[in-house]
Amino acid sequence: RFPSDERPSKQRLLVVANRLPVSAVRQGVDSWQLEISVGGLVTALLGIKEFDTRWIGWAGVNVTDEVGQRTLTKALAEKKCIPVFLDEEIVHQYYNGYCNNILWPLFHYLALPQEDRLATTRSFQSQFDAYKKANQLFADVVNKHYEEGDVVWCHDYHLMFLPKCLKEHNNKMKVGWFLHTPFPSSEIHRTLPSRSELLRSVLTADLVGFHTYDYARHFVSACTRILGLEGTPEGVEDQGKLTRVAAFPIGIDSERFIRALELPQVQDHMKELKERFAGRKVMLGVDRLDMIKGIPQKILAFEKFLEENPDWRDKVVLLQIAVPTRTDVPEYQKLTSQVHEIVGRINGRFGTLTAVPIHHLDRSLDFHALCALYAVTDVALVTSLRDGMNLVSYEFVACQARRKGVLILSEFAGAAQSLGAGAILVNPWNITEIAASIGYALNMPADEREKRHQFNFMHVTSHTSQEWAATFMSELNDTIVEAQLRTSQ
Ligand code: ADQ
């Protein structure tokens, strides 16, 4: 036990991500309402407990007046958050444009429609300039708050230019960068006009992390093929300087889910759901409404299953919870209408006066409602066309200690590499295969369900978000010590 004044203080960690873990809504000239945001990155980073963490990022709102900026900064400080202010034009070009229109589809192997592709080609340079400018604005805030000994952890494809901006200002700063999406094959990455600049910037970080070994390998290949650098088992070497590149598969705070299941309000909610769907097997999809999640494919596969298995029509229900994101982007609006149209058609086709086969909700659920849903589910369907990891599959497994439900999981989600042995893996583009897997999952004998669940449960409870963060941070500290030793020799 340490006397309080001798207790070693926690290392300060500056987490820099495009979005803060809270969104701000203005209530008046100087008052703000802060809401926790939904998303995989937020979920994972909230699990970090070993560090004295501060968040730096955009609060998702345009604030141009001095009073607004001052009062929002103050309100966020209570949550240990520090805002980066981005004006509308920058958000349009950097966030909607370069990040969401160019990098996001490219990293998920999604081709843009022809018209968009031409428009994107024309606006590419101005969007990339805005991206670099925005990354510099993030760097300015980091530099202002940085204290010697801090570690800076940059997150995701929005901030690939940040390591360079930080290191140019202070070469001694400890900088890690982690990508939450897949890193695509180097053949895909090389189509990006700014391919080299982005790679070179990421390489200025001390440690570069990905969810899977494959993504790390693609990144190293891009550096060797596009930049002509040398790839080593540890990372990428450039004129004697090694940038460490490795896989750090993310996890969830599994204890938080397991504990929540014991809460009376969650139990009540589970009871209601069981009564509501009595006599029917429950299938569940939980996704942000995004092209990468393969929601239309999932629903079409469910339709095929009902078509081919008339006996199941009144014995199974699919609950699809899709939280809308990027609602101002036309492509996402199109996806929403497409999903609504398919759901309406299927419910019209197979529904009765008293029951419909699909319940589709366009909204976010609170944590307790989500836990209850996971716990009463018999089969979870994750059909991402590509997904860096996919934490929904982890959350489902964490809540299934009693029911031992089955996970149907896309082979193109990073999670397929960790939960593959327990899940039924499917190609999300093949709805015949998914439909057959649904039948297999619904009819699976209890001992097989138990075995598969046990495998995944072990993984989810032993590879947590806390462990993920601690491993990345300890590797980052080690990398820096090694580099110091090398330069002093
Ligand atoms: P996301 O694309 O957001 O994350 P995912 O990993 O599945 O995907 O995480 C989604 C999170 O949002 C989960 O915690 C889930 O509970 C929550 N969520 C989703 N829909 C919800 C709803 N309707 N209501 C309430 N909560 C909802 C990105 C990458 C992923 C990667 C993570 C973490 O795209 O591949 O796994 O970051 O690195």
Q: CA nearest 109: which of 175, 185, 194?
A: 185
pLDDT given for residue 39 in this prediction:
61
The alpha carbon of 392 and the centre of ligand 1 are apart by a number of angstroms equal to: 6
Nearest CA to ligand 1 atom 10: 40
The position carrying tokens 């390998």 is 217
40 C-alpha vs ligand 1 centroid, how far in Å? 4
Buried/exposed code over 454-467 (b: 16+ C-beta within 10 A; e: otherwise): ebbbebbbebbbbe
Beta bridge partners of 36: 22
Q: Is the CB of 390 under 6 A from ligand 1?
A: yes
What ipTM score was computed for the predicted complex, to two decimals?
0.98
Q: How confident is the prediction along the chain (489 residues), in pLDDT tens digits per residue?
A: 334 444 457 889 999 999 998 988 999 888 999 988 766 567 667 666 778 889 999 988 999 999 999 999 999 999 899 999 999 999 999 999 999 989 999 999 997 766 777 777 788 899 999 999 999 999 999 999 999 999 999 999 999 999 999 999 999 999 999 999 999 999 999 999 999 999 999 999 999 999 999 999 999 999 999 999 999 999 999 988 899 999 999 999 899 999 999 999 999 999 999 999 999 999 999 999 999 999 999 999 999 999 999 999 999 999 999 998 878 777 888 999 999 999 999 999 999 988 999 999 998 899 999 999 999 999 999 999 999 999 999 999 999 999 999 999 999 999 999 999 999 999 999 999 999 999 999 999 999 999 999 999 999 999 998 889 889 998 998 887 777 677 666
Does ligand 1 have an atom closer than 6 angstroms to the CB of 252?
no
Can you tell me which atom of ligand 1 is nearest the CA of 40? 9
Residue of 206, 276, 285, 202 whose CA lies nearest to 244 = 206
Beta-carbon count within 10 A of 196 CB: 15
Strand pairing of 22-26 and 32-36?
A: antiparallel
Q: Which of 229, 236, 172 is nearest to 207 (CA)?
A: 236
Q: Which tokens sit at 202?
A: 């990421």
Is the CB of 156 inside a 6 Å radius of any atom of ligand 1? no
Distance, in Å, from the CA atom of 478 to the CA atom of 431, rounded to the nearest integer, reads 46
Nearest to 134 by CA among 156, 105, 111: 156
Q: How many of the other CB atoms lie within 10 Å of CB of 180? A: 23
Q: Side-chain half-sphere of 304: how many Cα atoms within 13 Å?
A: 16
d(CA 107, CA 182): 6
State the residue for tokens 């089969």.
379
Return contacts of 345-351, CB within 8 angstroms, 24+ apart.
346/299, 346/302, 346/303, 346/306, 349/303, 350/303, 350/306, 350/313
Name the residue of 257, 293, 365, 391 whose CB sits within 8 Å of the most ligand 1 atoms, as the mutation to test its pocket.
391
Half-sphere exposure (CA, 13 Å, Cβ side) for 59?
A: 28
Sign of the CA dihedral running 466, 471, 473, 477: positive
Q: Are 431 and 421 in contact (CB under 8 A)?
A: no
Ligand 1: centre distance to CA 399 (Å) = 16
What's the rounded Cα separation, in Å, for the pair 123 and 34?
34
Q: Cα separation of 442 and 285, whole Å? A: 15
